[in-house]
């Protein structure tokens, strides 16, 4: 068995301590805003997540891996044209391992806010299906989102289309409906649009924005339950070589989020269940670009606890995550892709989410490890990350 990633704890702890010492400085300031006339505005924001990752594989003769990289590297421009029309454009610079370092638009859309109960977004925007995808990646609870559960098989985290949404009952009830491209390539049997609907109800302080937060750092008392449905007709051939047996896609999810600030600290708990379905196409003969998660079922549970008082110059928050994924893919009688993720970690907030350090240790186990593929055998990983937002 390869040596454990936790052998490098001392190295990671030393790195984290060094970064803490360097960044125990005055708070970062908000990005600059320029006013245009009586109503127009433009705000520029820069955000960076720099990670160091160490991985230990159980596969024999597979060397451990470690690297520094930019998990996110973003420049955003946002603002208002007038009281009703706004805009948002965000550039992403490649930085993940294996990235070709291209710069591209992660988001680009215009908003129309007719009333609080009737709002529109047009352009390239976040898919409105899962809560975790809608949680701001720069304001999460755990290190990052689920690798696959939170993302739709087609469209991923963003899609091109239009969304209508709004708040009802004093923002206790929120609805969303999105029409987007979904799968939009020549391998699909049809050329149909993707339709997504989502609702949530919040019992305490309302979550009234289009996006959510993974933690409110004790500034709100939140209890929200949500559900969503996603569908697109004729997305894949069950028999691609013969161009026959077209299959449609449908998915549903339910989720819940709670954060409770108390004198003893801030308590956070959230979870979701997912069911993606393309008629068992994963076990037929689909096209080569067919995504691995198109017949996926699974769930996650996350929990957090923030200490009530500062520790040094910042706030300390502990978190844990448990996740199980059943991909529904069989190779013979084995389901090699099914896995369980368990992780623990800590956030150290020097200036809220604008300047923070995060460390996470994860243990990933496969239900049936594949002896012929190192990437489908058990592994452990440790990550230390720095987040900076200006």
Element containing residue 10 per DSSP (H, E)? helix 9-22
| C-alpha 158: how far from chain center | 11
State residue 30's pLDDT score. 57
Mind listing the pLDDT tens digit for each residue in 78-135?
999 999 999 999 999 966 666 666 899 999 999 999 999 999 999 999 999 999 999 9
- Pairwise pLDDT comparison (19 vs 132), residue with the higher score: 132
289 domain-assigned: yes
- DSSP state at residue 240: T
328 domain-assigned: yes
76 domain-assigned: no
Mind listing the pLDDT tens digit for each residue in 206-235?
999 999 999 999 999 999 999 999 999 999
State residue 29's pLDDT score. 43
Q: Give the number of other CB atoms < 10 A from CB of residue 328.
A: 20
State residue 1's pLDDT score. 40
Alpha-carbon distance of 361 to 16, in angstroms, equals 14
State residue 70's pLDDT score. 93
Alpha-carbon distance of 272 to 224, in angstroms, equals 12
- Total domains in the chain come to 1
Lowest mean pLDDT among 29-33, 189-193, 358-362: 29-33
17: left (phi over 0), alpha (psi -120 to 50) or beta: alpha
Percent residues over pLDDT 90 in the chain? 79
pTM greater than the 0.85 cutoff: yes
Mind listing the pLDDT tens digit for each residue in 316-340?
999 999 999 999 998 887 888 999 9
Q: What is the mean pLDDT of the chain?
A: 90
- The closest of 148, 124, 161, 114 to 329, measured between CA atoms, is 148
Max CA distance (Å), the chain: 67
State residue 5's pLDDT score. 36
228 domain-assigned: yes
Q: Is a pLDDT exceeding 60 seen at residue 244? A: yes
CATH of the domain at 204: 2.40.160.10
Alpha-carbon distance of 167 to 170, in angstroms, equals 7
103 domain-assigned: no
State residue 61's pLDDT score. 78
Q: Is a pLDDT exceeding 70 seen at residue 9? A: no
336 domain-assigned: yes
Q: Is a pLDDT exceeding 50 seen at residue 182? A: yes
How confident is residue 27, by pLDDT bands cut at 50, 70 and 90?
Answer: very low
- DSSP state at residue 20: H
Tokens read off for 258: 């709670």
247 domain-assigned: yes
- Pairwise pLDDT comparison (302 vs 59), residue with the higher score: 302
Q: Is a pLDDT exceeding 70 seen at residue 140? A: yes
State residue 100's pLDDT score. 64
Q: What is the mean pLDDT of residues 357-383?
A: 91
Mind listing the pLDDT tens digit for each residue in 197-207?
999 999 999 99
State residue 98's pLDDT score. 61
* Structural domain for 248, as ranges: 5-32+45-67+126-389
State residue 97's pLDDT score. 66
Q: Is a pLDDT exceeding 70 seen at residue 18? A: no
Angle at CA 207, nearest 5°, toward 118 and 266?
175
Residue 382 CB burial class (10 angstroms; 0-12, 13-18, ≥19): buried
């Amino acid at each position: 068995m390869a040596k454990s990633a936790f052998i490098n704890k001392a190295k990671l702890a030393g790195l984290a301590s060094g970064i803490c010492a360097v960044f125990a400085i005055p708070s970062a300031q908000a990005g600059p805003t320029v006013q245009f006339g009586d109503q127009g505005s433009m705000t520029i924001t820069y955000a960076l997540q720099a990670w160091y990752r160490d991985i230990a594989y159980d596969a024999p003769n597979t060397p451990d891996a470690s690297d520094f990289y930019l998990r996110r590297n973003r420049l955003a421009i946002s603002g208002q044209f007038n009281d009703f029309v706004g805009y948002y454009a965000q550039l992403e610079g490649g930085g993940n391992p294996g990235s070709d370092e291209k710069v591209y638009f992660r988001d680009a859309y215009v908003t129309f806010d007719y009333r609080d109960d009737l709002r529109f977004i047009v352009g390239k925007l976040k898919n409105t299906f899962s809560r975790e995808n809608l949680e701001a990646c720069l304001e999460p609870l755990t290190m990052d989102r689920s690798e696959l559960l939170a993302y739709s098989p087609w469209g991923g985290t963003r899609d091109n289309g239009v969304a209508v949404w709004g708040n009802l009952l004093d923002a206790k009830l929120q609805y969303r409906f999105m029409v987007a491209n979904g799968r939009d390539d020549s391998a699909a049997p049809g050329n149909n649009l993707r339709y997504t609907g989502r609702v949530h109800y919040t019992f305490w302080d309302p979550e009234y924005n289009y996006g959510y937060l993974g933690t409110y750092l004790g500034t709100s008392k939140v209890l929200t339950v949500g559900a969503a449905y996603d569908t697109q007709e004729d997305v894949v051939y069950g028999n691609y070589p013969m161009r026959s047996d077209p299959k449609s896609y449908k998915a549903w999810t339910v989720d819940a989020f709670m954060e409770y600030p108390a004198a003893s600290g801030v308590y956070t708990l959230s979870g979701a269940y997912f069911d993606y379905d393309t008629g068992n196409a994963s076990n037929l003969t689909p096209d080569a670009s067919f995504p691995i998660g198109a017949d996926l079922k699974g769930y996650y549970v996350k929990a957090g606890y923030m200490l009530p008082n500062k520790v040094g110059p910042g706030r300390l928050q502990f978190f844990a995550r448990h996740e199980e994924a059943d991909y529904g893919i069989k190779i013979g009688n084995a389901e090699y892709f099914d896995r369980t993720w368990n992780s623990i970690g800590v956030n150290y907030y020097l200036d809220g989410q604008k300047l923070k350090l995060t460390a996470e240790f994860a243990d990933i186990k496969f239900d049936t490890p594949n002896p012929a593929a190192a990437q489908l055998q058990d592994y452990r990983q440790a990550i230390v990350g720095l987040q900076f937002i200006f």
